[in-house]
Amino acid sequence: MTVEEKRVYLLLKSVIYHYHGLDDVEKKDLEQISTELDAKEELNWALDFVSQDYITAFDRTREFLNHIIGDYPKNKRVDLINMVWQSNNVKGYVTEMEATAMFKLGRDWNVEKELIELVLK
């Protein structure tokens, strides 16, 4: 995984997790995945990006990711959305705000239909 891919992955997880406030389970997940990916710097970058302004974090992330993700193949875009959906399910639930955020990204990345199919499984 490239540095850019690690940043995209961790930023996406971080912003969705921060949507309602980062809890302990989510924080541990971010730390674990950054260790597995050897991506401590990328996690710090993502957390800093989000913390610059929590109110606008999702919109800023969405804009940032849309410039990068548009060049990704469709299966990679689906994998990223699915990764976030599955990460949220690890804690046992997905909030309405988190689901809405993921569907907005799915629509932006032209994978909304695929996300719906994944959710229904």
Sites in the chain below the pLDDT cut of 70: none
- How many domains does the chain divide into? 1
* DSSP secondary structure, 40-97, as one string: HHHHHHHHHHHHT-TTTHHHHHHHHHHHHHTTS-HHHHHHHHHHHHHHHHHTT---HH
Give the pLDDT confidence score for residue 111 in this predicted structure: 92
Give the pLDDT confidence score for residue 62 in this predicted structure: 92
Give the pLDDT confidence score for residue 27 in this predicted structure: 92
Enumerate residues 6+ apart whose C-beta is below 8 A from 111.
74, 77, 78, 81
Query: Can you give the residue range of the structural domain that contains 68?
Result: 3-120
Residue 115 is given by DSSP the state H
Q: If DSSP codes are grouped into helix, strand and coil, which group holds residue 10? A: helix
Give the pLDDT confidence score for residue 74 in this predicted structure: 92
Give the pLDDT confidence score for residue 40 in this predicted structure: 97
